[in-house]
Amino acid sequence: MRQDVFYIKISSMKINLPIIFDQLNNDFQLLPCNRYDLSIEMVLFYYPQKTLDPKYVYLITGEEYDRDPSRFNNIPLIINGIGKYIPDENAILIFQKMDAHNLYDKVMTIFLDFEEWNQTVLKSIIEKRDIESIARLIGEKLVNPACVLDLSFRMQCIVGEIKKDMEIPKEWEDLLTYKESPVDTFDIPSNDIYFFARHGSEIYEPVGSPYNNHDIFLNIYVHGELFMILANCTGSPDFSEGEYSIMLLVRDYFEQYYTSVFKTEENQNVSQYYLSQLLDGREINQNALAYHLAGKGWKQSNSYQVCCLMMSQIDKASKGQLEHALSRIQKIMGFEIAFIYFDSIILISKELDVQKMYSCIKKTKLVCGISFTQCDIMNIKKAYNQALLAIHYGREEQKENDTIYFFENYLGSHLNQIVSLNLAVGDYIPPAIQRLQEYDRKNRTNYMNILKTYLLSGLNFKKASERLYMHRNTLIYRIEKIESIMGVRLDECSVSQIETLLIAILVLIKKDQEVSHYLQPS
């Protein structure tokens, strides 16, 4: 009974003949094998009366093999003392016959050793140990150390031991020192994330690598999405087939680790991981984010709003409360991108149904802040801050029964406060006004001033044209052009929206005047 339990346990670890060959470390010969076929669970003695199974490696003598070579097709073998016939592949050849039980013990020890390693690594992943500790354990079987890189070639961790006497290329030394290496170091277009993706789960060498063209790269996937790269650090030309195979095992462990992180933390997919990085104010590989968003039917340039949901009370929500609320909202609303970020729920919507949102959260203790519409997902932090401020100002006013706060409704009355707090004013200016300001700068036009005068005139063409000393028809044409640049129909804006646009213009004009005055020679 105890043997059966033990057998089931150790069969969970699967290796292959190249790994066994390396570990035996004797003057044997390895015949061609598939390095990707990690399917061997155990070593067994060969008995003619038993059915053969490719999940076992069989210890067999040359004489036994000679009796019926065809029987051993696709069966991994260790042939102890070669006979008349030799297989074409999937075998380790031992020319000088060894004691059979001694050989069995050696091979069995390899399986037990790898299973112990397997259990230790899996235990560390389950215990959610830090990435450096896990990487040290995962790297114990590597002869040539490796590192894990994100898609911006920033190093996440070192895998395996870098020994003092080890020759490491200068480029890799720089990577280890500075923790990053630009993608353009390689002969890879900087915008071509598909270079990595097209290799799938195969081992590959980066074409044009400065790292001696002997680097081993492997993609790490999470929930089917390309996430990280595993790369060896030595540029060694002496990689054995067994080392290639162990790299595959190492990659699989990292996939398990990162998948467990996404399951136990709030980020449930890779695109959300990148968005969280942006919310943290970190730089990311834009092309990597675009690649992952494309899988969701998103483009980086899609217009969107950020909705931030928090508890209506000052108290922070528990993780369980947020998870329950997120599940409920997703069931009703079906947001393409929705995740938990610290003590809030982040929802990103291309077309927000406000009424549906009202009905969705009215029976909860949640309140919702909604940002301006943005045109680039890289601006998510800006939009998130807008949503947070909307909640802050909405709570201050304490309007009865309000659960949704739009940032645009508070900007007009609070922009001066934002300026006085030395916040980045540009982050809180309506995107429409930002577009108009940028157009003025690029084309040396004066549309900001024209719009200011038009708004101050109460959207009255006659009054505005008189103030601007401009023919009425000319003003009409220019306002139409301004509306086209901003993507806004002014006659469809509410009074509060007009006020917000006007205040934003006045603030920006004032800041430009201050900058211009500062730059003038004394």
Q: Is residue 106 part of a domain?
A: yes
Q: What single letter denotes the amino acid at residue 40?
A: I
Q: Does residue 72 share a domain with residue 177?
A: no
Q: What is the CATH number of the domain that holds 183?
A: 3.30.450
In terms of Cβ atoms closer than 10 Å to its own Cβ (0-12, 13-18, 19+), residue 97 is middle
- Residue 122 resides in a domain: no
- Cβ atoms of residues 162 and 185 within 8 Å: no
Question: How far apart (Å, rounded) are the C-alpha atoms in residues 33 and 384?
Answer: 53
Same domain, yes or no: 246 and 310: no
Same domain, 66 and 91: yes
Residues 110 and 177 in one domain: no
- What does the pLDDT average to over 467-492? 90
Query: And the tokens for 28?
Result: 């044997």
User: Do 136 and 248 reside in the same domain of the chain?
Assistant: yes
User: What's at 292, amino acid-wise?
Assistant: H
Among residues 427, 445, 468, which one ends one of the domains? 427
Is 125 inside a domain boundary? no
Please give the single-letter amino acid code of residue 44: L
Work out the percent of the chain whose per-residue pLDDT is above 70. 81
Residue 261: alpha-carbon gap to chain centroid:
12
3-state secondary structure 286-313: HHHHHHHHHCCCCCCCCCEEEEEEEECC
Q: Are residues 100 and 156 in the same domain?
A: no
Let me know: does 369 contact 307? Beta carbons within 8 Å. Answer: yes
State residue 516's pLDDT score.
Answer: 41
pTM of the model: 0.69
Cβ 216 vs Cβ 247: under 8 Å: yes
Q: How far apart, in Å, are the Cα atoms of 48 and each of 71, 72, 332? A: 10, 11, 63
Please name which of 326, 399, 407, 390 lies closest in space to residue 360, comparing C-alpha atoms. Answer: 326
- The whole domain housing 416 covers 299-427
The answer on 435 and 409 residing in a single domain is no
State whether 305 and 384 are in the same domain.
Answer: yes
CA distance 293 to 377: 10
Higher pLDDT, 475 or 174: 475
Q: How far is CA 141 from CA 43, 115, 121, 245, 247, in A?
A: 20, 12, 11, 11, 9
> Taking 90 as the threshold, does the pLDDT of residue 414 lie above it?
no
The CATH number of the domain holding residue 54 is 3.40.1390
Residue 274 lies in a domain: no
- Band (18; pLDDT cuts 50, 70, 90): very high
| Structural domains counted in the chain | 4
Q: Under a CB-based contact definition with an 8 Å cutoff, are residues 264 and 242 in contact? A: no
From 218, 242, 264, the end of a domain falls on 264
Alpha helices in 232-379 (DSSP H): 241-264, 270-279, 286-294, 319-333, 354-361
Question: Domain boundary residue among 213, 247, 264?
Answer: 264
| Minimum mean pLDDT range among 90-99, 104-113, 184-193, 459-468 | 184-193
The reply to whether 452 falls in a domain is yes
What is the pLDDT, as a whole number, of residue 419? Answer: 58
Segment 210-261, tens digit of pLDDT:
444 567 889 999 888 888 999 887 666 678 899 999 999 999 999 999 888 7
Structure tokens at 159: 């895998």
**Do 417 and 463 belong to one domain?**
no
Kindly report, residue by residue over 100-151, the tens digit of the pLDDT.
Answer: 999 999 999 999 999 999 999 999 998 888 899 999 999 999 988 888 988 7
Q: Phi/psi of residue 156, each to 5°?
A: -95, -35
> Do residues 373 and 436 both lie within one domain?
no
**Is 305 inside a domain boundary?**
yes
Question: Closest by alpha carbon to 429, among 480, 385, 494?
Answer: 385
**518 pLDDT higher than 50:** no
Mention every residue, 6+ apart, whose C-beta is less than 8 A from residue 247. Answer: 142, 146, 203, 216, 218, 230, 232
- Please check whether residue 235 lies inside any domain of the structure: yes
Residue 279 forms part of a structural domain = no
Rounded to an integer, what distance in angstroms lies between the CA atom of residue 133 and that of residue 157?
10
Q: How confident is the model at residue 316 (pLDDT cuts 50, 70, 90)?
A: low
Q: Give the helix, strand, coil percentages of the chain, each rounded to 5.
A: 50, 15, 35
Query: Does 148 lie in the same domain as 92?
Result: no
Separation CA 121–CA 366 (nearest Å)? 40
**Whether residue 238 is found in the same domain as residue 315:** no
pLDDT value, residue 45: 96
Mean pLDDT of the chain: 81
Q: What is the dihedral of CA 11, 12, 17, 21, to 10 degrees?
A: -90
What pLDDT sits at residue 517? 38
CATH of the domain at 384: 3.30.70.100
Identify the CATH number of the domain in which residue 449 sits. Answer: 1.10.10
**How many percent of the chain have pLDDT more than 90?**
32
For the stretch 413-432, what's the b/e string if a residue is b when 16 or more beta carbons lie within 10 angstroms of its beta carbon?
A: ebbeebeeeeeeeebbbbbb
